[in-house]
Amino acid sequence: MVIFNFTDKNLHNNNADLSFIYDATVREILRQDVRSVLREMPGNAAVFVTSDHGFTPVPDKTFIVPDEVLTDSGDVKYRVGRLKRPLEGNAAKNGVLFKVGDLGISDKTGKAKWSFNHVLFPRPGLTLKRPQGRHDPERYTHGGLSMAECLIPLIVLGPKQKFEPVFDLVGIRFDGVLSEGQPLDIVITARAKSPMKDEVLIQLQVEAGLDEIQPRKEVFSGTEQEYRVRWSPKVENLTTEEQGIGKVVKEVTAIASYRWQNRTVRTTVHGTVEIQLDTTRIRRRLDSKLDSIMGMVPAGLR
């Protein structure tokens, strides 16, 4: 393990701008000293780079924490103070105070034997100052000492609840004469996981290739329900094979969408149906260019 310690002592009492200090000092140490260590490592070495705290400028305006609220002057660290009792009067307006118990932290200061009762953070634009300052000037401070950096977001996770949709589409069938030119009913079956007392509004949509079937709103309740959708299958642009066997196979999909337990649920069911063709009907392929020349195609030949 290699430890580079070249910013801590340099920055605390340095009045220069932080970016200038980096350009003039820190970057050169990285280029020369750090790289010299890296060059000595084997080419297949696994290198883990970790970092301690950073530094941040402190505001010029200071608030001297009174001696009487401190156990020791070392309890003031620029952006945080450990107090044995709260600030009083106008002084209390200079900071935000928390009880140690509310923060859930230890009330002991490192190796010291004394304890403290409150934690003080300065208001924006202020720096806390000890009665006897250690650095002159007190220009930069460690990261990790501000209130924003000390507050840890907390969430409580419990076991994930198993989500069950209220119902599913479980079946699809076709009622009617399955012949060309004849309308039929698409019958869709929905079944609940358990009997329901309340009604659920659903959006029911049926897709059957290029055939346009308007979506509709339905209501589901109870244990099982059937929904009927009227459909007139189109048999256009038939292949030679379909004309030869005298039937066309249609793929049909029913989709139900609804809201349940603050979620949008989507359930589907698929089915196929064979439509018998009218073998007595004369069919011929029309050229699109010929259509535009001859005008409208007679309805019987569309």
Kindly state whether residue 161 falls inside one of the protein's structural domains: no
The per-residue pLDDT for 246 is 87
How far apart CA 187 and CA 132 sit, in angstroms, is 87
Cβ atoms of 218 and 227 within 8 Å: the answer is: yes
Looking at the predicted structure, is the pLDDT value of residue 294 above 60? no
Does 138 fall in a domain? yes
Same domain, 209 and 280: yes
pLDDT score for 256: 94
User: What is the model's pLDDT at position 297?
Assistant: 55
Whole-structure pTM value: 0.43
- Single out the residue of 80, 71, 141, 145 nearest to residue 112, CA to CA: 71
Would residue 128 count as lying in a domain? yes
Identify which of 71-80, 153-162, 199-208 has the greatest average pLDDT. 199-208
> What are the tokens at 109?
């200061």
Is 163 domain-assigned? no
66, amino acid identity? P
Distances (CA, A) of 79 to 128, 192, 235, 245: 6, 61, 80, 87
Distance CA 120, CA 82 (A): 6
Cα(108)–Cα(75) distance, rounded to whole angstroms? Answer: 11
213 plus 276 within the same structural domain: yes
Query: Do 197 and 272 share a domain, yes or no?
Result: yes
- Which own/partner contact pairs does 70-74 have at CB distance under 8 Å and 24+ positions apart? 70/131, 71/109, 71/114, 71/115, 71/116, 72/109, 72/112, 72/114, 73/130, 73/131, 73/132, 74/109, 74/130
Bigger pLDDT: 281 or 302? 281
C-alpha–C-alpha distance, residues 187 and 176, integer Å: 11
Do 119 and 205 belong together in one domain? no
Does 301 fall in a domain? no
Highest mean pLDDT of the ranges 44-53, 92-101, 144-153, 287-296? 92-101
Angle at 69 between CA 127 and CA 73, to 5 degrees: 60
Residue in this structure with the two tokens 């996981």, named with its chain if needed: 193
Arithmetic mean of pLDDT, 182-209 = 90
Boundaries of domain holding 61: 55-154
Q: Are residues 144 and 196 in the same domain?
A: no
pLDDT at position 291 over 70: no
Give the per-residue pLDDT at 50. Answer: 78
User: What is the pLDDT confidence band of residue 177, given thresholds at 50, 70 and 90?
Assistant: confident
- Reported as a single tens digit per residue, the pLDDT across 87-113 is 999 999 999 999 988 887 777 766 656
**Can you tell me the distance from the alpha carbon of 105 to that of 118, in angstroms, rounded to the nearest whole number?**
10
pLDDT at 172 over 70: yes
Question: How far is C-alpha 46 from the geometric centre of its chain's CA atoms?
Answer: 33
Instruction: Dig out the tokens for 276 from the structure.
Output: 């018998």
Looking at the structure, do residues 45 and 62 belong to the same domain, yes or no?
no
Residue 226 lies in a domain: yes
The token pair at 169 is 């589409």
User: How many structural domains does the chain have?
Assistant: 3
Confidence at 224, pLDDT banded by 50, 70, 90: very high
C-alpha–C-alpha distance, residues 115 and 88, integer Å = 20
- 279 belongs to a structural domain: yes
**Per-residue pLDDT at 144 exceeds 60:** no
Are residues 98 and 191 part of one domain? no
Q: Is the same domain home to 34 and 59?
A: no
145/202 same-domain check: no
Q: Are residues 148 and 222 in the same domain?
A: no
Of 154, 181, 198, at which residue does a domain stop? Answer: 154
Mean pLDDT computed over 228-240: 86
Mark whether 32 and 147 lie in a shared domain: no
CATH code for the domain of 238: 2.60.40.10
